[in-house]
Chains A and B, each alone.
Chain A
Amino acid sequence: DAGVIQSPRHEVTEMGQEVTLRCKPISGHNSLFWYRQTMMRGLELLIYFNNNVPIDDSGMPEDRFSAKMPNASFSTLKIQPSEPRDSAVYFCASSRSGTGGAYEQYFGPGTRLTVT
Chain B
Amino acid sequence: AQSVAQPEDQVNVAEGNPLTVKCTYSVSGNPYLFWYVQYPNRGLQFLLKYITGDNLVKGSYGFEAEFNKSQTSFHLKKPSALVSDSALYFCAVILGDTGRRALTFGSGTRLQVQP
Chain A contacts to B: CB under 8 angstroms: 4, 31, 33, 35, 42-45, 48, 50, 55-56, 91, 93, 95, 97, 103-110
Contacts and interface: CB of A to CB of B under 8 A. Distances in A.
Given A44-B105, A55-B100, 19 more contacts: A33-B103, A35-B103, A42-B105, A43-B90, A43-B103, A45-B102, A45-B104, A48-B101, A48-B102, A50-B101, A91-B43, A97-B101, A103-B51, A104-B49, A105-B46, A105-B103, A107-B36, A107-B44, A110-B42
B45 interface: yes
A103 B74 CA distance: 17
Contact of A33 (B34, B90, B102): B102
Interface string B24-66: 0000000010101000001111100101000000000000000
Contacts, number: 52
Contacts of B101: 31, 33, 48, 50, 55, 95, 97, 103
19 contacts: A33-B103, A42-B105, A43-B105, A48-B101, A48-B102, A50-B101, A55-B100, A55-B101, A56-B100, A56-B102, A97-B101, A103-B34, A104-B34, A104-B49, A105-B46, A107-B36, A109-B42, A110-B42, A110-B43
Interface string B70-109: 0000000000000000000010001000001111111110
Nearest to B49: A104
A109 B107 CA distance: 19
A103 B34 CA distance: 10
A103 B46 contact: no
Q: Of residues A45, A95, A105, A106, which shows the largest number of chain B Cβ atoms within 10 Å of its Cβ?
A: A105
Chain B CB within 10 Å, residue with most, of A43, A45, A91:
A43
Nearest to A33: B102
Contacts of A50: 101
